[in-house]
Chain A
Amino acid sequence: MAKQFLQGNKALAETAIRSGCRIFFGYPITPSSEIPEYYAAQPKERKVTFIQAETEVSAFNMVAGAVAAGRRAMTATSGPGFSLGQEAMSYMTAAGLPAVIVDVMRPGPADGEILASQGDYFQVTKGGGHGDYNVIVLAPYSVQEACDLTRKAFELAEKHGNPVVVLSDSTIAKMCESVELPEEISYKVPTFSGALTGCKDKRHVITTCGDGAAQWEKFNLNLQERFAKIREEEQKWDAVQVEDADVVMVSFGSVARVALETVEIAREHGLKVGLLRPITLWPFPEKAFAGLDGKKFFVVELNAGQMVQDVKLSVKNKDDVSYYGRFGGFTPTPLELYEEICKRYGKGASK
C-alpha cells in the first residue's frame, strides 16, 4: 500500500476507523483535538458516530456504554482529561470492557502546558483510579507505530477483556511522517460474549458492585489472574545495540527517538551505548532486562523520573540506574543526552 504523509493524531484516528472503531465520544483538549475533529469530519457513507461529550467524565462513560453493547468505541484526551476519566478506567477494567483510550500527554501538573511531556506515566501505568487494577499501556515513538499500536490496542483489549491506553504525546501527535496505514477491516460483533445484546438466548449483566467480602475478594483474585496473564504474555520492547553496550539508555515514546540518535553519536565517539525502548509500559517489559546485569542504565524521560522506578525494580542492582529528564514541554537534544552520558559514564567520569 502507498505511503502517506500524515499528522500523528490524524493517522491514529484513520487507523482506528479502519480498525472498525466507528463510534467515538470525546471532549476536545490540546494536543489531542485533531482526533475528535477527524471523526467529526467523516462523510456519512463511513457511518461514523461522533459525539462531543460535555466532559471527559461523560466521554469515558459513553465509551463504556457503547463497548458494553459489544461495539468498538474509543475516546481521546490529554492528561487533565485522563484524570477525569480515571473512575471510568477503574470501572471498565473491573467490568472487563475492552475499551481503547488515547492519551496524548502534555506537561502537568494541573492545567500545565501543551508541548510534549511524559508526565502521565504514573497515572496511566499504575492503575491511577481506585482499587487494584491495571490497564494495558502502549507507547508509540513514531506516527507509524501510533497506527500499528492503535490497531493492536483493539486486538489486545478484546483478547484480555481489559481497557487499553495508547499513550502518545504532543510530538507524536503533531508531527507529520510518512506512514503506511493498515487495511480497513471489520470485526466480530459483539466483541465479547458478555456484551449487552439482549437476553433472547442468554442474559447479560455488567456490574461492578460487590456483594460481600467473600464475593468481592474472589472477584479481585480473578482480576489479578487476568493481570498476571497479561504480564506474562504481552511485554513488548525494542532493543538497539544493547548486547555489547556498557550504557543502556532506557526511553519510551517521542524522547526515545532522540535517544536513538544519541546512541549513534555515542557509537561514533567510541562509547558503547545502546537503547532499550519499552513499547508496553504496562505490563512493564521487565523481561527485557534479563541478562543485562552489570550494565549501566541511563533512563531519559520527559518527567521527573516516573518510569525510572520500574527500571530499578527490573534490574539486579538499582545503583546501576540513573535518570535524566526535562519538564514543561522541553525535549532534550541528542547532543545534550550524549554530553550527559559523557559526564556520567565517559572517560574521566567518577565511577
Chain B
Amino acid sequence: MKTIYERPKALQDTFFKYCGGCGHGIINRIIGELIDEKKCLDDTVMVWPIGCSVYADQYFHADAICALHGRAPAVGTGLKRAEPDKLIIVYQGDGDMVSEGMAEIIHAAIRGEKFSVIFMNNAIYGMTGGQMAPTTLEGQRTTTSPFGRAIENSGYPVNMAEIMAKFPGCVYSERVAVNTPANVAAAKRAINKAFDLQLAGKGLSFVEVLSPCPTGWGLKPVMAQQWVAEKMMPIYPLGVFKNPEVAK
C-alpha cells in the first residue's frame, strides 16, 4: 500500500497542546514537512517564543531554544552569527513580536539577519487568555478591550508583512493564511521559499500567517476560518510584499 500521508519525521510522536481549530498545529506540521523534504533536521535550530507555541520544542526532533518574551530575533541573531550554516527558524506570535519584541524584529530586518521568521498573527493573545494584541482589529472584543478595540485609546492594527518589506535587509516578505486547503498549500510554498532563501545565504525572510484562534475569539472553529477571511483579510491582505527577484 502506498503511504500518502504520515507524520513528518521531524515531528515527535506526541500530542500538540494547541486548541482545536488553532492554526499553530498546521504551520508546525508544514515546518516539519519542509525539514523532512530538505533533509536538514540535523542542522536546524528552532527558536520558540513565549506564547501558545512555548512548548513547541516538545513537538520537534530538532535542536531548540525557547527565548524570553519578544527576544527570539535577538537569540536567533546570536545563533546565526555563531553558526551561519545552520537553518535558524525564528517563530513568533503577535504579542511576542509586535508588542514585546518590536525592536528586536525591526532591527533584525535592519541588519538583514540571514534567518527565517514565521509570524503567527491571530489578532489576540491566545496563551494568556484572550487579551488585546497590537494586531487586534478595530472594534474586536478581547478581555482587555471588552467594548471592542477603540482606535482613540489603543491605536491601529499593525501590518507587519508590509512593514518588513520596507527594509532592504528583508529579502522576502509574504502574508499567507491557513483558513482553507488552498491557503495552507500556499503557506507551505511561502515557508519553503523563506527556508530556501536562508539556505542560499540571503537576508531575512519573513512569512506572516493569518491564523484562527477559535478559543480566544469565542467562535467555533469553522466560524473562525470564516472570520479570518471576512474580518482579517480586508485589514491584512494576503500577498507577496517583497520578493528576492526585486531585492538586491
Out of A49, A63, A68, A71, name the residue touching B65 (CB < 8 Å): A68
> In the complex the two chains form, what is the Cα distance from A54 to B43 in whole Å?
28
Within 8 A of A (CB), among B22-47: 41-45, 47
Output the least CB separation between B163 and chain A (Å): 16
List residues of chain B with CB within 8 A of the CB of A207.
48, 57, 64-66
Output the least CB separation between A23 and chain B (Å): 6
Contacts A53-B74, A54-B107, A199-B41 given; indicate if A65 touches B86 (C-beta within 8 A). Answer: no
Output the least CB separation between A98 and chain B (Å): 13
The verdict on B83 contacting chain A, using a C-beta distance below 8 Å, is yes
The verdict on A87 contacting chain B, using a C-beta distance below 8 Å, is yes
Q: Are A58 and B74 in contact (CB under 8 A)?
A: yes
The verdict on B75 contacting chain A, using a C-beta distance below 8 Å, is yes
Q: Are B81 and A49 in contact (CB under 8 A)?
A: yes
List residues of chain B with CB within 8 A of the CB of A258.
none
Out of A54, A69, A87, A208, name the residue touching B78 (CB < 8 Å): A69
Out of B41, B55, B79, B110, name the residue touching A65 (CB < 8 Å): B79
The verdict on B103 contacting chain A, using a C-beta distance below 8 Å, is yes
Binary B-proximity of A64-98 (CB < 8 A = 1, otherwise 0): 11111111010000000000000110010001000
Binary A-proximity of B75-103 (CB < 8 A = 1, otherwise 0): 11111111100100000000000000001
List residues of chain B with CB within 8 A of the CB of A208.
66
Q: Are A23 and B81 in contact (CB under 8 A)?
A: yes
A-B contact count (CB 8 A): 126
* Shortest Cβ distance from B48 into A: residue: A207
The verdict on A314 contacting chain B, using a C-beta distance below 8 Å, is no
List residues of chain B with CB within 8 A of the CB of A69.
45, 78-79, 82-83, 86
List residues of chain A with CB within 8 A of the CB of B103.
54-55, 57-58
List residues of chain B with CB within 8 A of the CB of A65.
47, 65, 74-82
List residues of chain A with CB within 8 A of the CB of B44.
198-199
Output the least CB separation between B115 and chain A (Å): 10
The verdict on A159 contacting chain B, using a C-beta distance below 8 Å, is no
List residues of chain B with CB within 8 A of the CB of A95.
65
The verdict on A209 contacting chain B, using a C-beta distance below 8 Å, is yes
Q: Identify the interface centre among B65, B78, B107: most chain A CB within 10 Å of its CB.
A: B78
Output the least CB separation between A56 and chain B (Å): 11
The verdict on B71 contacting chain A, using a C-beta distance below 8 Å, is yes
Q: How large is the interface on A (under 10, 10 to 19, 20 to 34, 35 or more residues)?
A: 35 or more
Q: Are B68 and A61 in contact (CB under 8 A)?
A: yes
> In the complex the two chains form, what is the Cα distance from A25 to B80 in whole Å?
13
Q: Identify the interface centre among B67, B103, B106, B110: most chain A CB within 10 Å of its CB.
A: B67
> In the complex the two chains form, what is the Cα distance from A191 to B104 in whole Å?
26
Q: How large is the interface on B (under 10, 10 to 19, 20 to 34, 35 or more residues)?
A: 35 or more
Within 8 A of A (CB), among B183-198: none
The verdict on B13 contacting chain A, using a C-beta distance below 8 Å, is no
The verdict on A203 contacting chain B, using a C-beta distance below 8 Å, is yes
Q: Are A61 and B65 in contact (CB under 8 A)?
A: no
Q: Are A196 and B71 in contact (CB under 8 A)?
A: no
Out of B50, B65, B77, name the residue touching A206 (CB < 8 Å): B65
* Shortest Cβ distance from A60 into B: residue: B74
Out of B48, B61, B75, B86, name the residue touching A61 (CB < 8 Å): B75
Q: Are A68 and B79 in contact (CB under 8 A)?
A: yes
The verdict on B54 contacting chain A, using a C-beta distance below 8 Å, is yes
List residues of chain B with CB within 8 A of the CB of A23.
78, 81-82
Q: Identify the interface centre among B62, B63, B81, B111: most chain A CB within 10 Å of its CB.
A: B63
List residues of chain B with CB within 8 A of the CB of A196.
45, 63-65, 79, 83
The verdict on A349 contacting chain B, using a C-beta distance below 8 Å, is no
List residues of chain A with CB within 8 A of the CB of B86.
69, 198
Q: Are B107 and A58 in contact (CB under 8 A)?
A: yes
List residues of chain B with CB within 8 A of the CB of A66.
78-79, 81-82
Q: Are B63 and A88 in contact (CB under 8 A)?
A: no
Contacts A55-B103, A69-B83 given; indicate if A62 touches B55 (C-beta within 8 A). Answer: no
Q: Are B71 and A57 in contact (CB under 8 A)?
A: yes
Q: Are A205 and B74 in contact (CB under 8 A)?
A: no
* Shortest Cβ distance from B70 into A: residue: A57
Binary B-proximity of A86-117 (CB < 8 A = 1, otherwise 0): 01100100010000000000000000000000
Selected A-B contacts with CB under 8 Å, 17 pairs: A51-B81, A51-B111, A61-B78, A62-B74, A64-B78, A65-B76, A68-B75, A88-B68, A91-B68, A198-B44, A200-B42, A205-B63, A206-B65, A207-B48, A207-B64, A207-B65, A211-B55
Interface residues of B (CB under 8 A from A): 41-45, 47-48, 50, 54-55, 57, 61-68, 71, 74-83, 86, 103-104, 106-107, 110-111
Among all A-B residue pairs, the 4 with the closest Cβ atoms: A65-B78, A61-B74, A69-B82, A66-B78
User: A66-B78, A68-B65 are known contacts; what are 17 more A-B pairs with Cβ within 8 Å?
Assistant: A25-B77, A53-B107, A58-B107, A61-B67, A61-B71, A64-B71, A64-B78, A66-B82, A69-B45, A69-B78, A88-B71, A196-B65, A198-B86, A199-B61, A203-B62, A203-B63, A206-B64
